[in-house]
């Protein structure tokens, strides 16, 4: 990660310098120089044959502890805990993994322990400040007051998430690393669906600096909605939340990993990256979308609303849960083999760029092979409707700026009001009741059925579900293979679905695939999505539109709708963006503060 050009000089200036022994002592001595971005280690004794230096990036560090060996020892020690990324040779090629490395330095300049201890503490304070993104310079007096009080995290672990190995991951990686980062915690194992939702409704906000789910996206969905159900929701939703990926999809973890500038990762590499970022602890606003289902129930979503192919695969693949993320691959193959289409009406409030709506299409050749980016048929279709100029809009990651739409605002009806809709008034059914192979009931029920969310900011962009959408909205009636509204870059840790999306860009990215797409093209689309390459493709059947609000009215009677991967009641559904409503522990230092050096 590069510092801003104007700060390059100060970025490399030395904050601290010293010469130390090591533990265990083998007569080796090092010169250490600390800069804003790394610790430079130069061996002094025995003298190296060539001028080799090791640079340990601050980004690889989780913490630093000071130590003493015994009361008679006059030396003080400081240990630095790092997790550098190492390449590992495996049978077929190589893979990456983070390996714990501890370096302990001996402060032995003085014959008085207290003087050596003061030096060791100074180094520990400086390192901790840099890890946590607290600005320091060579002029800063390195005193303990620079550091915030010990962070206290409320950890919620779902023993049934993903492959069911969250408990094992917690003991082998998570707890050791956060202890090295001086984080105190309370760990609770969830016992059933909605347990996390209930727990966060009862916590004292003053007692915690963050709520972390050790699970998949489903548990975070419960936490966010539990916070929104509190009478003090305005304060509660500002509680920083975080995720340590132990689920199947791990979409938000994929987005956090990408936001931090790491390479796309899965499994324990992704988990270790996310623990590292949690230890840094920096917080950023995260967009939430309020979703209203046909009964008038409102819930808050941080990831996606899906209908058709994606929600079918998500829910129908529950029976392959033991496979971890591979369950989605199997589910995709099954669903491709018996491809369904769904008739529906999709309306959306487009985002204006210089007062022009933006849309893009992705084109595959008729035979399903990738072709260079061209103007697509669908582009023309929309342009002909006077909705969009014929042009290709390329998005830059986190640099897009759009005009605010000036639109009338609407009152949202309370769930009991005459305009609110009720499930019974819609002739819709869920396509499938989730069940596993053995026929045992699954832990997933249709989410939020019993939760009427009344709190939260007003949905001022959408009229009540029973009323028509404003004339300024775009409405399409189509046979769809899928409709997806996503507001994170990733739909799964290895599904880089919206590369132009960022955690707080205030945009709902609507993707839809129309009936007519060949099975081969659909498979290619999902394969290309792994690396985000689908964006370079053109396909007349695949469209992306940024929006601020949308309404989806299924006209096919049976189907599955999901919000953040959780099944919700089937029927008309609508949603509106509430930008930056929550806070996410992203650990990212992308918005760097000017160093005071
Ligand atoms: N002890 C438990 N037993 C059964 N289900 C539980 C338990 N604790 C939580 N749950 C439920 O498990 C569901 C799935 O959890 P989660 O989403 O975290 O994992 P996942 O589905 O494997 O991952 P992802 O959502 O990333 O695909 C949640 O809806 C949650 O309510």
- Residues whose CB is less than 8 angstroms from the CB of residue 459 and which lie 6 or more positions away in sequence, other chains included: 290, 292, 298, 410, 412, 549, 576
Query: If you take atom 26 of ligand 1, which residue's CA is the nearest one?
Result: 216
Ligand 1 binding pocket mutation candidate from 166, 169, 197, 215 (most atoms within 8 A of CB)? 215
Query: How many other C-beta atoms are found inside a 10 Å radius of the C-beta of residue 139?
Result: 8
What average pLDDT does this structure show over 472-488?
97
Which atom of ligand 1 lies closest to the CA of 219? Answer: 18
Ligand 1 binding pocket mutation candidate from 164, 189, 193 (most atoms within 8 A of CB)? 193
What average pLDDT does this structure show over 503-509?
96
Binned at pLDDT 50, 70 and 90, residue 551 comes out as very high
Token pair 């760029």 in the structure block, residue: 353
3-state secondary structure of 11: helix
Contact (CB, 8 A) for 36 and 3 = yes
Task: State the complex-level ipTM.
Answer: 0.97
3-class SS letters over 434-450: CCCCCCCCCCCCCCCCC
What average pLDDT does this structure show over 64-87?
94
β-bridge mates for residue 495, sequence order: 492
Query: If you take atom 5 of ligand 1, which residue's CA is the nearest one?
Result: 443
Query: If you take atom 7 of ligand 1, which residue's CA is the nearest one?
Result: 192
366 pLDDT more than 80 = no
Q: Are strands 152-157 and 101-107 parallel, antiparallel or unpaired?
A: unpaired
Ligand 1 binding pocket mutation candidate from 155, 160, 211, 488 (most atoms within 8 A of CB)? 160
Q: pLDDT tens digits for 273-293?
A: 999 999 999 999 999 999 999
Query: If you take atom 10 of ligand 1, which residue's CA is the nearest one?
Result: 193
Distance between CA 104 and CA 77 in Å, rounded? 7
318 vs 207: which has the higher pLDDT: 207
535 pLDDT more than 90 = no
Ligand 1 binding pocket mutation candidate from 167, 188, 191, 218 (most atoms within 8 A of CB)? 218
CA of 480 to the centre of ligand 1 (A): 29
Query: If you take atom 17 of ligand 1, which residue's CA is the nearest one?
Result: 218
Binned at pLDDT 50, 70 and 90, residue 70 comes out as confident
Distance between CA 376 and CA 373 in Å, rounded? 9
Closest CA to 331 of 434, 246, 245, 441: 434
The token duo for 293 is: 């289902």
What average pLDDT does this structure show over 385-404?
30
Say what the pLDDT of residue 421 is.
31
**What's the sign of the alpha-carbon dihedral 184, 190, 195, 196?**
positive
CA of 125 to the centre of ligand 1 (A): 39
344 pLDDT more than 80 = yes
Q: pLDDT tens digits for 320-335?
A: 777 877 777 877 888 8
Q: Are strands 94-98 and 85-89 parallel, antiparallel or unpaired?
A: antiparallel
Binned at pLDDT 50, 70 and 90, residue 96 comes out as confident
Token pair 């100060």 in the structure block, residue: 10
CA of 160 to the centre of ligand 1 (A): 6
Distance between CA 567 and CA 305 in Å, rounded? 10
259 pLDDT more than 90 = yes
Binned at pLDDT 50, 70 and 90, residue 499 comes out as very high
Which atom of ligand 1 lies closest to the CA of 218? Answer: 17
Say what the pLDDT of residue 211 is.
98
Pick the catalytic residue from 108, 209, 217, 494. Answer: 217
Q: What is the mean pLDDT of the chain?
A: 82
Query: If you take atom 3 of ligand 1, which residue's CA is the nearest one?
Result: 192
Say what the pLDDT of residue 47 is.
77
CA of 216 to the centre of ligand 1 (A): 7
Say what the pLDDT of residue 388 is.
28
Distance between CA 315 and CA 331 in Å, rounded? 9
Which atom of ligand 1 lies closest to the CA of 158? Answer: 8
CA of 164 to the centre of ligand 1 (A): 9
Ligand 1 binding pocket mutation candidate from 266, 314, 443 (most atoms within 8 A of CB)? 443
Contact (CB, 8 A) for 367 and 507 = no
Respond yes or no on whether the N-terminal peptide bond of residue 464 is cis (omega within 30° of 0). Answer: no
Closest CA to 59 of 266, 262, 252: 262
Which helix (DSSP H) or strand (DSSP E) does residue 526 occupy? Answer: helix 519-529
Distance between CA 146 and CA 128 in Å, rounded? 10
- Is 494 among the residues known to form the active site? no
Contact (CB, 8 A) for 345 and 385 = no
- Residues whose CB is less than 8 angstroms from the CB of residue 494 and which lie 6 or more positions away in sequence, other chains included: 254, 264, 266, 325, 530
Closest CA to 286 of 43, 564, 536, 557: 564
CA of 184 to the centre of ligand 1 (A): 25
Q: What is the DSSP letter of 321?
A: G
CA of 423 to the centre of ligand 1 (A): 25
Q: What is the DSSP letter of 157?
A: E
Token pair 């053995």 in the structure block, residue: 438
Which atom of ligand 1 lies closest to the CA of 162? Answer: 22
DSSP string, 58-127: GGGEEEEEEE-S-TT---EEEEEEE--EEEEE-SSSEEEEE--EEEEEEE-SSSSHHHHHHHHHHHHHHH
Which atom of ligand 1 lies closest to the CA of 245? Answer: 26
Binned at pLDDT 50, 70 and 90, residue 88 comes out as confident
CA of 459 to the centre of ligand 1 (A): 29
CA of 190 to the centre of ligand 1 (A): 9
**What percent of the chain shows pLDDT beyond 90?**
66
Binned at pLDDT 50, 70 and 90, residue 91 comes out as low
67 pLDDT more than 80 = yes
Q: How far apart are the first and last CA of the chain?
A: 19
Which atom of ligand 1 lies closest to the CA of 159? Answer: 1
Q: Are strands 210-215 and 152-157 parallel, antiparallel or unpaired?
A: parallel
CA–CA distance from 166 to each of 159, 210, 249, 371, 585 (Å)? Answer: 6, 19, 14, 42, 20
Distance between CA 141 and CA 122 in Å, rounded? 9
CA of 162 to the centre of ligand 1 (A): 8
3-state secondary structure of 333: helix
R_g of the chain computed on alpha carbons: 26
Distance between CA 343 and CA 234 in Å, rounded? 38
Q: Which residues surround ligand 1 with Cβ inside 6 Å?
A: 158-162, 190-195, 215-219, 222, 247-250, 443-444, 565-566
Which atom of ligand 1 lies closest to the CA of 314? Answer: 27
Say what the pLDDT of residue 330 is.
79
Which atom of ligand 1 lies closest to the CA of 325? Answer: 27
């Amino acid at each position: 990660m590069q510092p801003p050009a104007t700060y390059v000089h100060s970025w490399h200036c030395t904050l601290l310098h010293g010469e130390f022994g090591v533990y265990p002592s083998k007569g080796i001595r090092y010169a250490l120089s600390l800069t804003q971005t790394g610790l430079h280690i130069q061996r002094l004794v025995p003298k190296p044959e060539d001028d080799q230096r090791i640079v340990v990036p601050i980004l690889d560090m989780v913490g630093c502890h000071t130590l003493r060996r015994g009361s008679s020892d006059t030396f003080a020690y400081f240990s630095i805990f790092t997790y550098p990324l190492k390449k590992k040779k495996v049978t077929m090629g190589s893979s990456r993994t983070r390996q714990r490395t501890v370096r302990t330095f001996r402060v032995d300049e003085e014959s008085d322990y207290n003087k050596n201890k003061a030096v060791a503490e100074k180094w520990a304070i400086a390192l901790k400040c840099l890890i946590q993104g607290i600005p320091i310079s060579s002029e800063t007096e390195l005193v303990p007051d620079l550091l915030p009080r010990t962070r206290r995290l409320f950890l919620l672990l779902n023993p049934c998430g993903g492959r069911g190995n969250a408990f094992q991951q917690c003991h082998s990686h998570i707890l050791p690393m956060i202890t090295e980062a001086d984080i105190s915690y309370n760990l609770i194992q969830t016992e059933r669906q909605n347990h996390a939702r209930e727990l966060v409704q009862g916590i004292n906000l003053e007692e915690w600096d963050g709520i972390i789910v050790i699970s998949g996206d489903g548990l975070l969905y419960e936490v966010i909605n539990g916070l929104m159900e509190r009478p003090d929701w305005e304060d509660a939703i500002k509680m920083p939340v975080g995720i340590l990926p132990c689920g199947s999809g791990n979409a938000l973890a994929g987005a956090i990993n990408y936001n931090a500038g790491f390479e796309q990762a899965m499994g324990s590499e992704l988990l270790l990256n996310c623990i590292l970022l949690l230890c840094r602890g920096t917080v950023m606003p995260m967009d939430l979308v309020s979703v209203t289902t046909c009964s008038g129930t409102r819930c808050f979503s941080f990831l996606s609303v899906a209908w058709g192919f994606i929600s079918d695969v998500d829910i129908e693949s529950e029976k392959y849960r033991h496979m971890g993320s591979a369950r989605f691959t199997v589910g995709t193959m099954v669903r491709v083999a018996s491809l369904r289409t769904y008739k529906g009406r999709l309306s959306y409030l487009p985002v204006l760029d210089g007062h022009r709506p933006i849309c893009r299409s992705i084109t595959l050749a008729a035979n399903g092979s990738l072709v260079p980016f061209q103007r697509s048929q669908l582009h023309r279709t929309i342009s002909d409707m006077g909705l969009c100029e014929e042009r290709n809009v390329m998005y830059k990651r986190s640099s897009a700026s759009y005009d605010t739409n000036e639109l009338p605002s609407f009152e949202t009806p309370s769930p009991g009001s005459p305009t609110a809709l009720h499930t019974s008034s819609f002739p819709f059914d869920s396509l499938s009741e989730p069940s596993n192979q053995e026929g045992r009931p699954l832990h997933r029920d249709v989410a939020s059925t019993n939760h009427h969310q009344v709190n939260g900011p007003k949905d001022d962009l959408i009229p009540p579900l029973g009323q028509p959408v404003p004339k300024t909205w775009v409405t399409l009636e189509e046979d769809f293979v899928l409709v997806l509204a996503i507001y994170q870059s990733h739909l799964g840790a290895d599904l880089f679905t919206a590369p132009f999306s960022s955690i707080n860009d205030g945009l709902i990215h609507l993707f839809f695939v129309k009936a007519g797409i060949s099975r081969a093209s659909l498979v290619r689309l999902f394969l290309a999505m792994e690396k985000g390459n689908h964006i370079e493709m053109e396909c007349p059947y695949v469209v992306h539109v940024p929006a601020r609000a949308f309404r989806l009215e299924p006209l096919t009677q049976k189907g599955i709708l999901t919000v953040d991967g959780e099944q919700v009641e089937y029927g008309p559904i609508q949603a509106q963006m509430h930008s930056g409503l929550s806070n996410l522990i992203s650990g990212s230092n992308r918005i760097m503060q000017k160093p005071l050096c």
